[in-house]
C-alpha cells in the first residue's frame, strides 16, 4: 500500500487508489429473484416475507426470495416434498404467472433502453448492454445509476456486473449479488481479478454445466482461473470451439458479441405435464388439440408458418429409457399456420403412437422449419384450393383478434373438449395484474 503525498501539500487521509477508468464495458443487468420480485411489486404483503414461486403444475420451486434462500429452501425442490417445511416457516407460495413476468421483463428492458440501444435481452430476467463512460461519469457510476433507475421505475431490484466480456460480466454479477453491493466490476487490470476467478468454481462458469464440470476437474481445471490459463488450442480440440472462445473471454478478449437483433426463432413449442393424466385416446386427443391451439397461437404471433410438426408423449417411467418417450415427426405437405390443419396431422400421429392403458405424464407439440407468413411456396401436394387457403387465413386472424380482445380461450376448437380434466394445477396463481382488465389493481383514496 502506498501513500502518494506531494511535499507541498498536507498529508491527505488514505483513500483507496482510484480504479482505472474504462472507456467501455459490457454490463449484465440481472433481476434479483425475478419472479418473486414481480409478485411483490403488486402485492406488498409479500415483502419481507419468505416467498417462493412454483413451476407450471405447481411442480417445483423456480424462484426464491432472499428470505426463502436463507431458510435453505433449495432451487428446484419438488413442492410436494417441502410443502410441510414451507408451511411451518410461514413461507408465502405463488404459482407461476408468466403473463405478469413477461410484462415486467418488458418494462425493465424499456428502462434499460433509455441508457443505450446496444441491448440484448438474453433471458426473461437478464439483459446484456454495451456501456461507454462519459467525461462526467465513470462506468461504475453508470452501473449504479442503471440499478437505481430500474428499481425506481419498475420496482424490480437488479444487480449489475461490469466487465470487458460477457463471460466476465456474468461472474461480476454473481459477485454483486453475493456481496450485496448491487454493482460489481471485473476487469483484467483490477487487483482482485485473479482472486475472484480463483474463487469461482468451474461449475459456476457460464457455459460449463453439470456434465462438463467433473471432466474439467479431472484434468486439473477446478476454477475459472485455471480455465483462463488453459491452452486455447487444446481446449478447442478437446471441448469444441465454444469452450475455446470462453477461455478468451475469461482473459478479457470479447468473443461473444452483444446480439442486438435477435435472429428469428427456429422452433416454437407448447409442452406441458398433465394435472391429471388423460385416460383414453379420446381424452388425450382433446389435450393434443388444445396444445396444438396454443402452439399455433404462438406461431401466428411471430408471423411464421411451420413446415414440420413433432408430437411427443412421455410416460411416468422414472428412468429416461427409450420406452418412456414416444414421438412422431411429420413433414407437412405445405407450410401452414392453421390450427385445424395442424391438429389433423397431430391427431393422426397420436393414433399411431398412443398405447392404451399407459399413463402419460406429459405431451408436447413442437413446430419446426419456420418461415415468414408471406411468400410460402405453393406446393403441388397442397390439396387445398387457393380460395380456401385465403378463407382459412381470415378465419385464423378473426379467432386471434377475438381471443385477444375477450380473453385467451373464449374461442376454442371443438376437439379440445370442454371438461379438460388434464389441465395443470396452479392453486396459488396471482391475478393477471397487467394483462386482464378485471385484475388491474385499484387504489382507493
Partner DNA sequence: TCTGGGGTCCTAGGACCC
Q: Is 73 in the site for DNA (CB under 7 A)?
A: no
Q: Binding DNA by CB under 7 A: which of 346, 364, 422, 433?
A: 364
Alpha-carbon gap, residue 195 to 310, rounded angstroms: 48
Q: Is 422 in the site for DNA (CB under 7 A)?
A: no
Q: Is 267 in the site for DNA (CB under 7 A)?
A: yes
Cβ closer to DNA: 238 or 403? 238
Q: What's 190's DSSP letter?
A: S
Q: Binding DNA by CB under 7 A: which of 102, 229, 240, 372?
A: 240
Q: Binding DNA by CB under 7 A: which of 22, 67, 120, 125?
A: 125
Q: Binding DNA by CB under 7 A: which of 59, 155, 157, 252?
A: 59
Q: Is 188 in the site for DNA (CB under 7 A)?
A: no
SS3 state of residue 97: coil
268: CB partners within 8 A, 6+ apart: 295, 298, 299, 302, 304, 306, 366, 367, 370
Which range in 106-114, 137-145, 155-163, 209-217 contacts DNA by CB under 7 A? 209-217
SS3 state of residue 185: strand
Please name the helix (run of DSSP H) or strand (run of DSSP E) that holds residue 399, with its range, or none.
helix 386-406
Alpha-carbon gap, residue 436 to 238, rounded angstroms: 52
CB-based contact 56:427 (threshold 8 Å): no
Cβ closer to DNA: 201 or 392? 201
Q: Is 210 in the site for DNA (CB under 7 A)?
A: yes
Write 375-380 long-range contacts (CB < 8 A, 24+): 376/305, 376/334, 376/335, 376/336, 377/335, 378/334, 379/333, 379/334
Alpha-carbon gap, residue 61 to 195, rounded angstroms: 33
Q: Is 57 in the site for DNA (CB under 7 A)?
A: yes
Residue 149 Cβ vs DNA, minimum distance, rounded to whole Å: 21
Residue 170 Cβ vs DNA, minimum distance, rounded to whole Å: 6
Q: Is 289 in the site for DNA (CB under 7 A)?
A: no
Cβ closer to DNA: 237 or 391? 237
Residue 35 Cβ vs DNA, minimum distance, rounded to whole Å: 9
User: Quick one: which of 430, 423, 427, 102 has its CA closest to 272?
Assistant: 423
Q: Binding DNA by CB under 7 A: which of 33, 55, 97, 165?
A: 55
Pairing of strands 183-185, 158-163: parallel
Q: Identify the sign of the CA torsion 180, 186, 192, 196.
A: positive
Cβ closer to DNA: 274 or 354? 274
Cβ closer to DNA: 22 or 91? 91
Q: Is 263 in the site for DNA (CB under 7 A)?
A: yes
**Total site size for DNA, rule CB under 7 A:** 45
Q: Which residues bind DNA (CB under 7 A)?
A: 55-57, 59-60, 62, 76, 78, 80-81, 122-126, 170, 205-213, 240-242, 263, 265-273, 298, 316, 361-362, 364, 366, 424
Amino acid at each position: 500500500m502506498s501513500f502518494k503525498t506531494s511535499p507541498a501539500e498536507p498529508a491527505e487521509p488514505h483513500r483507496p487508489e482510484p480504479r482505472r477508468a474504462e472507456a467501455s464495458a459490457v454490463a449484465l443487468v440481472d433481476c434479483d429473484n425475478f419472479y418473486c420480485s414481480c409478485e411483490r411489486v403488486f402485492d406488498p404483503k409479500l415483502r419481507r416475507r419468505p416467498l417462493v414461486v412454483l413451476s407450471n403444475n405447481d411442480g417445483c420451486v423456480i424462484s426464491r426470495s432472499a428470505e426463502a434462500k436463507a431458510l435453505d429452501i433449495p432451487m428446484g425442490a419438488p413442492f410436494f416434498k417441502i410443502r410441510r417445511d414451507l408451511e411451518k416457516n410461514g413461507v408465502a407460495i405463488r404459482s407461476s404467472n408468466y403473463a405478469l413476468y413477461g410484462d415486467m421483463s418488458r418494462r425493465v428492458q424499456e428502462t434499460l433502453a433509455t441508457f443505450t440501444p446496444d441491448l440484448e435481452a438474453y433471458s426473461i430476467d437478464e439483459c446484456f448492454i454495451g456501456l461507454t463512460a462519459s467525461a462526467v461519469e465513470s462506468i461504475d457510476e453508470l452501473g449504479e445509476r442503471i440499478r437505481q433507475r430500474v428499481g425506481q421505475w419498475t420496482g424490480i431490484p437488479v444487480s449489475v456486473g461490469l466487465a470487458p466480456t460477457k463471460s466476465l460480466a456474468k461472474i461480476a454479477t454473481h459477485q454483486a449479488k453475493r456481496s450485496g453491493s448491487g454493482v460489481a466490476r471485473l476487469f483484467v487490470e483490477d487487483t482482485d481479478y485473479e482472486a475472484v476467478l480463483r474463487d469461482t468454481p468451474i461449475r459456476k462458469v457460464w457455459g460449463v454445466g453439470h456434465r462438463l464440470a467433473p471432466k474439467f476437474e479431472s484434468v486439473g481445471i477446478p476454477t475459472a482461473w485455471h480455465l483462463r490459463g488453459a491452452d486455447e488450442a487444446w481446449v478447442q480440440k478437446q471441448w469444441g470451439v465454444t469452450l475455446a472462445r470462453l477461455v478468451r473471454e475469461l482473459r478479457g478478449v470479447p468473443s461473444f458479441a452483444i446480439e442486438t437483433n435477435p435472429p428469428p426463432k427456429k422452433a416454437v413449442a407448447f409442452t406441458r405435464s398433465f394435472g391429471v393424466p388423460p385416460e383414453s385416446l379420446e381424452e388425450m386427443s382433446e389435450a393434443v388439440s388444445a396444445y396444438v391451439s396454443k402452439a399455433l397461437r404462438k406461431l401466428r404471433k411471430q408471423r411464421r408458418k411451420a413446415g414440420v410438426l413433432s408430437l411427443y408423449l412421455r410416460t411416468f417411467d422414472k428412468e429416461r429409457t427409450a420406452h418412456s418417450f414416444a414421438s412422431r415427426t411429420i413433414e407437412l405437405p405445405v407450410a401452414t399456420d392453421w390450427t385445424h390443419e395442424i391438429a389433423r396431422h397431430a391427431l393422426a400421429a397420436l393414433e399411431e403412437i398412443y398405447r392404451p392403458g399407459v399413463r402419460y405424464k406429459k405431451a408436447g407439440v413442437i413446430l419446426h422449419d419456420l418461415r415468414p407468413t408471406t411468400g410460402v411456396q405453393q406446393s403441388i401436394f397442397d390439396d387445398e384450393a387457393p380460395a380456401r387457403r385465403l378463407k382459412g387465413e381470415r378465419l385464423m386472424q378473426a379467432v386471434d383478434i377475438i381471443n385477444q380482445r375477450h380473453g385467451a380461450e373464449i374461442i376454442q376448437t371443438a376437439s379440445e373438449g370442454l371438461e379438460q380434466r388434464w389441465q395443470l394445477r396452479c392453486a396459488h396463481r396471482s391475478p393477471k395484474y397487467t394483462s386482464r382488465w378485471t385484475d388491474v389493481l385499484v387504489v382507493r383514496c
